[in-house]
Chains A and B, each alone.
Chain A
């Protein structure tokens, strides 16, 4: 056999720092050493294996890839048809933008002073808040905006939103407004509602009563440190109240989730916290973290579920997500954030504001493309990510991207791999992941070091 080609569901990405093979259906990734990269680039150009350009000792990688179902020998040059979706991006059909999620902040009020709360820090704090509270320190007046919930939800529903995320502060502290939002949301049967809250501020029976409405669930934010029994004494009562609520929800088999803030926790804490929460409440928690600009500039950049202070990989869980990432920012895609003052953002962590629903309706806003451009901000257009071979297995966090160029050494902090020329040699900088392997030209494959 004189030729070798990768299968259609295997994607070779070449970066300044090396090459990575993505087994899309696996999912798994193979970081290639420089010789393995040379061999595969040679093969993918449909060049003959016996043309003298490759050393025989370098071809072991091909047998390994065949063994792993990633490629095949051929006796002639062949065409490998990519296994993408229909090429919508070329034809640009008049498909509606896929609005799907609306995050709505209904109050900044909160009765706690959690040590990770952005409200308590200086204005330069940035907050990565995918599933946590988003309380902010602001002097804006929210009085005018509060009356617009009905039209806002009608517009959101019209745009195709099916998932409403109500956040604060603690939304329970503005119970009346929360009820108003829920009443409006109840008009739209397909709209599912998640309320992120510390879980305090109302009696448990009131909180449980929220479940009388179809499609409502709670996301309770807790301190990860509390589950390690490491929190301060004064926070103990909050933790106990939260546990009581979580116990009640669990006992009644109601739909809920838990987000643990792991700010300040030691490396590896997330595994321990996850285990404790799972055993106690039968739920695997989400994790949330924040970083400050000062941390960022000092190189102490810590992302979600950080382990050992290293950049976490974010490996796709569905092939569709992988394909999405080729052309979109999957994290932001379809999402819209309206904060307590009516300002519209792609997400709470992003600094860019696209307008305000106080000035124009969500529908009018949707006629313009600024937000859609953000959704399409794949790693192919983000520097330095577009030069990294690992870009398709990495966090899409646009908030971090926005902050990176803004602070000294930001790019390096944004990604510890940014300054690395050789991914293979820098294996120790990668976060451990069971689906990551290091593959050399002789065919040896090693799992990513823990």
Chain B
């Protein structure tokens, strides 16, 4: 029997592929191993865990040679990779602020600039405009001034200097965000010209827009400064206009399509770097949306980011029935199977399908493995260290990213930039309020929880039943991943190549 301390708890998850093969995901090593009931019983026996009657029976029915070979495999995995069980007493390392500073500026690669808090649309799911997200601010008329923007850029470049020195070929990401950023196009012009004049070649600029203000003048500006544009487009007219409306409830689809047609004709280089960002809710007809993007490849930019309306801290889904959820799940399952078939056949699914259902497969493919370095200050969940991605608000306040509600600012560009003591306290708060039983979790390397998903009002809180659903989701992701690769082991390589291209353009 393997010798274990009392603090050791299991850290593995069993799942089954579409072909009916059983596997085990070992969270200690991130290995995926072909598995079975016999292996499981032998593992439990080897670890000294109590066996059920049927497990005991199973072991006694196995030939001794087979038991021996499986046990030696298990022991080798344990010895080589510290597999299967984790020390649940692992402690959190409190970060020294100076180490945080070093870590953050070695990893940060994008500054999100919130150039305005106003918007010309009133999308029904908007965290700012819909009124259904209790912890988010509403839309305001506040706009970033050129002074704040320039200070933010100067501060960001200065702070990134060690990283730029270390890698002179590196370029920093500058994401222009809002509200609707083109409502403050004067500032955008100032920012882009300032960057070109003072920091030529340093930034890769990205703009996220609702697409209604992509006028000829604005397109010319974005083209001139080589900006990659992400346009929100949720699907065909009836789907898009169901949710993306202006103050008087009018849809925005026609205007966007007209603007896109103009850009494609007049600014082909800008067009090449355009992508669509798609949001759906439980009532979206996903099949129709997928067909829309598939059928209009020539006239609609490739769909890159496909997200569901954020379910945390909102009343948005209060009116959604169980039947709606069931229908939604059936649609997603259907498209997931379709996508898997396409990948197994060696083809590349359309961008919308890739974003909707493929990203988990790719995430599994590039998951953190045994020899990948794990961040010592954020041992569990998928949260990054605050500061790895930065959002500067209209007044110069610094936030963890553009997705958080602003309750936890981590500094201000006019108050010395990032406050590492604050970040340290935030990490400690995350440990105290979120970690809970994380050390006993079966999927610490696969968990997707981050700050944006657990913000409360002045506190951090794990969403209700999150862990159960996350484990179930991880099991599905693992199963899909293995099911695809069981049948075509190079199925995800093309998808990764697309991901790589996206990464280069949008994540600088």
Chain A residues in the interface with B (C-beta under 8 A): 5, 7-9, 25, 66-67, 69, 72-74, 76-81, 83-87, 90-97, 99, 155, 158-160, 319-320, 323, 363-364, 366-367, 369
Contacts and interface: CB of A to CB of B under 8 A. Distances in A.
Contact of B168 (A8, A86, A367): A367
A234 B182 CA distance: 83
29 contacts: A5-B34, A7-B76, A72-B34, A72-B73, A78-B23, A78-B486, A79-B21, A79-B32, A79-B34, A79-B489, A81-B32, A81-B485, A83-B31, A83-B370, A84-B369, A85-B369, A90-B366, A91-B500, A91-B503, A93-B503, A94-B109, A94-B171, A97-B166, A99-B166, A159-B167, A160-B166, A363-B168, A366-B169, A369-B169
Contacts of A9: 80-81
B372 A7 contact: no
A79 B485 contact: yes
Interface in B68-84: 69-70, 72-73, 76, 80-81
Contacts of B166: 96-97, 99, 158-160
Contacts of B370: 83
A334 to B, nearest CB: 12
A106 B176 CA distance: 49
B319 interface: no
Contact-residue bracket for chain B: 35 or more
Contacts of A81: 31-33, 482, 485
Nearest to A368: B169
A74 B70 CA distance: 11
Q: Which of A25, A96, A319 has the most chain B CB atoms closer than 10 A to its own CB?
A: A96
B496 A91 contact: yes
Given A76-B19, A76-B20, A94-B171, A87 B365 contact: yes
Nearest to B76: A69
B46 to A, nearest CB: 14
Nearest to B161: A158
Ordered nearest first, which 9 A-B pairs have the shortest CB separation?
A: A96-B167, A158-B165, A81-B32, A78-B34, A69-B76, A79-B486, A96-B166, A367-B168, A90-B496
A8 B323 CA distance: 43
Nearest to B368: A86
B465 interface: no
Contacts of A78: 21, 23, 34, 486
A92 B497 CA distance: 10
A374 to B, nearest CB: 16
A347 B368 CA distance: 33
A147 B76 CA distance: 56
A96 B80 contact: no
B50 to A, nearest CB: 26
B371 interface: yes
B209 interface: no
Nearest to A366: B168
Given A86-B369, A92-B500, A79 B17 contact: yes
Given A83-B370, A86-B367, A323-B371, A91 B499 contact: yes
A97 B31 contact: no
B443 to A, nearest CB: 15
A95 B69 CA distance: 42
Interface of B: 17, 19-21, 23, 29, 31-34, 69-70, 72-73, 76, 80-81, 106, 109, 162-163, 165-171, 365-372, 482, 485-486, 489, 493, 496-497, 499-500, 503-504, 507-508
Contacts of B20: 76
Contacts of A159: 165-167
A79 B369 contact: no
Given A86-B372, A94-B171, A96-B170, 7 more contacts: A69-B72, A69-B73, A77-B19, A85-B371, A92-B503, A95-B167, A159-B167
Contacts of B163: 96
B395 to A, nearest CB: 29
Contacts of B169: 97, 366-367, 369
Nearest to A74: B34
Contacts of A66: 69, 72-73
A427 to B, nearest CB: 27
Contact of B486 (A67, A77, A369): A77
A7 B70 CA distance: 12
A52 B20 CA distance: 25
B486 A92 contact: no
Nearest to A155: B165
A321 B168 CA distance: 26
A290 B140 CA distance: 73
Given A8-B31, A79-B485, A80-B34, A94 B366 contact: no
A324 to B, nearest CB: 10
A372 to B, nearest CB: 9
A8 B486 contact: no
A266 B455 CA distance: 71
Contacts of B31: 8, 81, 83
Nearest to B485: A79
A376 to B, nearest CB: 14
A78 B80 CA distance: 22
Nearest to B74: A69
A84 B369 CA distance: 7
Contacts of B162: 158
Q: Which of B19, B369, B493 has the most chain A CB atoms closer than 10 A to its own CB?
A: B369
Given A8-B31, A69-B72, A94-B167, A87 B486 contact: no
Contacts of A99: 166
Nearest to A8: B31
A66 B366 CA distance: 29
B369 A363 contact: no
Contacts of A67: 69, 72
B390 to A, nearest CB: 15
Contacts of A72: 34, 69-70, 73
B230 to A, nearest CB: 19
A40 to B, nearest CB: 16
Given A90-B496, A97-B167, A159-B165, A320 B486 contact: no
Contacts of B32: 8, 79, 81
A28 to B, nearest CB: 13
B33 A8 contact: yes
A44 to B, nearest CB: 10
A66 B71 CA distance: 11
A93 B504 CA distance: 8
Nearest to A87: B366
Contacts of B369: 83-86
A83 B81 CA distance: 11
A320 B500 CA distance: 24
A76 B503 contact: no
A9 B83 CA distance: 13
A79 B500 contact: no
A52 B163 CA distance: 59
Contacts of B33: 8, 81
A71 to B, nearest CB: 9
Nearest to A7: B73
Contacts of A91: 366, 496, 499-500, 503
Nearest to A320: B371
Contacts of B72: 66-67, 69
A87 B499 CA distance: 12
Given A90-B497, A320-B371, A364 B168 contact: yes
Nearest to A93: B503
Contacts of A93: 503, 507
Given A76-B20, A78-B34, A25 B80 contact: yes
Contacts of B496: 87, 90-91
A73 B66 CA distance: 9
A7 B35 CA distance: 12
A90 B500 contact: yes
Q: Which of B23, B31, B497 has the most chain A CB atoms closer than 10 A to its own CB?
A: B31
A262 to B, nearest CB: 34
Given A78-B34, A83-B31, A94 B170 contact: yes
A214 B343 CA distance: 57
Given A80-B34, A92-B503, A364-B168, A85 B73 contact: no
